[in-house]
Amino acid sequence: MNQEPLPAALAAYAGAGRQDAPYELLAEREDGTVVRCGEIVAKAHAGDSDREGLAVRMRIAADKALAGVLLAPLRPEVGYLGGRPVSLWPYGAPVDPERPEDAPWEAAARLLAALHQVPVHRLPGPVPPMRGPAKLARALRRLARATAPGRGAGAAGAGPAAAAGPVGAPAATGSAGSAGSAGSRPGPALVPSPAEGRPAGDLVRAAARTLPAWVRGEAPAPRGGALCHGDLHLGQLVRGPGPDGGWRLIDVDDLGIGTPAWDLARPAAWYAAGLLDTGTWVRFLDSYRAAGGPAAGPAGSDPWPELDLAARALTVQTAALALAKSAENHRRLDDVERLMVDSCARIATLPPDLEPQAPS
């Protein structure tokens, strides 16, 4: 790659070589840089991406079996820019973070249900594993680096623990209807527990130890499962191009075979922490079940036996990333991040889950 910044180089790539192509930087993170150039979106994936796996995921996204579920790439082949994998996509309008009341929870649920019912054997392959456990492992490693002795990260651990009880029992009431936790409104303060005063990083690591090794990415996942997105949140939905303009799932970096409950884990974890109100959670769950989704049991049943493990995993991942970022940026946790650490305190009181849970 030449010496120009990556976003400008991506814009030139999307603009058919135009070095002066105007662009909008949509995201710049360690796991990817994304720019919009007109009606084209270019993404430079992480340099350490599994390139063979990404190539298969791109072909899956372009497969007609996923039409109406995943946003199809402009071309299924992966390009390269300065040694990094690059993909091109049509632009789709994202969820409006300023209008949480319009968040498409029901549409997200229906898309997940459709994704989970795609016949995997008919897809381009070999279909790689869903990367949810790998992301949890990465979050825990980042927490360890950020809070290592000598890093001056003590301020990040400013997170006392909270009330006892299973993660499936909502700890507080509130709302998280926006596309991300930054727009969420946390519920009331939780009741302190005997874990009060323990460093937040210790609580998150203790919660992680209650999870099976495969959930932490330290052992192979149980065989079988369904096609999963692997990183579902409302920022992963856009209005597709074309006459229908329906919602589509984006970002296939973590797509693969796995436990479908993982795709429901973030809203489940938010509900358990008190960040997602009961009405929104019920609409999401009912929409998923009505569309034939296999991961939450039949209508009217308790979903937590199937969702609890994945919800705990996403809680640990979210809290670990929050603590790592607060340490790296020398800031204290915000209220939403603190609630996720509070949930980890409750999880840490549970006995270890030693047996692998078979995918739903």
pLDDT score for 197:
59
Q: Any idea which fold 100-347 has?
A: Aminoglycoside 3'-phosphotransferase; Chain: A, domain 2 (3.90.1200)
- 156 or 345: which carries more pLDDT confidence? 345
Q: How many percent of the chain have pLDDT more than 90? A: 70
pLDDT mean over 256-266: 96
pLDDT tens by residue, 53-67? 999 999 999 999 999
pLDDT mean over 14-30: 84
pLDDT score for 243:
67
| Cα separation values, 218 from 136, 140, 159, 215, 318, Å | 10, 12, 27, 7, 18
> Taking the domains of the chain in order of start, what are their residue ranges?
6-90, 100-347
pLDDT score for 15:
83
pLDDT tens by residue, 33-49? 999 999 999 999 998 89
162-166, 319-323, 337-341: range with lowest mean pLDDT? 162-166
pLDDT score for 191:
31
Q: What is the mean pLDDT of the chain?
A: 85
Enter the tokens of residue 251: 């970002």
pLDDT mean over 68-95: 94
pLDDT-derived band of residue 293, with 50, 70 and 90 as boundaries?
A: very high
147-156, 218-227, 265-274: range with lowest mean pLDDT? 147-156
pLDDT-derived band of residue 97, with 50, 70 and 90 as boundaries?
A: confident
3-state SS string for the chain: CCCCCHHHHHHHHHCCCCCCCCCEEEEEECCEEEEEECCEEEEEECCCCCHHHHHHHHHHHHCHHHCCCECCCCCCCCEEECCEEEEEEECCEECCCCCHHHCCHHHHHHHHHHHHCCCHHHCCCCCCECCHHHHHHHHHHHHHHHCCCCCCCHHHHCCCCCCCCCCCCCCCCCECCCCCHHHCECCCCCCCCCCCCCCHHHHHHHHHHCCCCCCCCCCCCCCCCEEECCCCCHHHEEECCCCCCCEEECCCCCCEEECHHHHHHHHHHHHHHCCCCHHHHHHHHHHHHHCCCCCCCCCCCCCHHHHHHHHHHHHHHHHHHHHHHHHHCCCCCCHHHHHHHHHHHHHCCCCCCCCCCCCC
CATH architecture of 6-90: 2-Layer Sandwich (3.30)
Common-topology check for domains 6-90 and 100-347: no
pLDDT score for 168:
40
pLDDT score for 140:
97
pLDDT mean over 69-90: 94
Full-model pTM = 0.85
pLDDT score for 16:
73
pLDDT mean over 319-335: 94
pLDDT mean over 309-320: 97
Q: Say if residue 79's pLDDT is above 60.
A: yes
Q: Say if residue 165's pLDDT is above 50.
A: no
pLDDT-derived band of residue 162, with 50, 70 and 90 as boundaries?
A: very low
Q: Say if residue 314's pLDDT is above 50.
A: yes
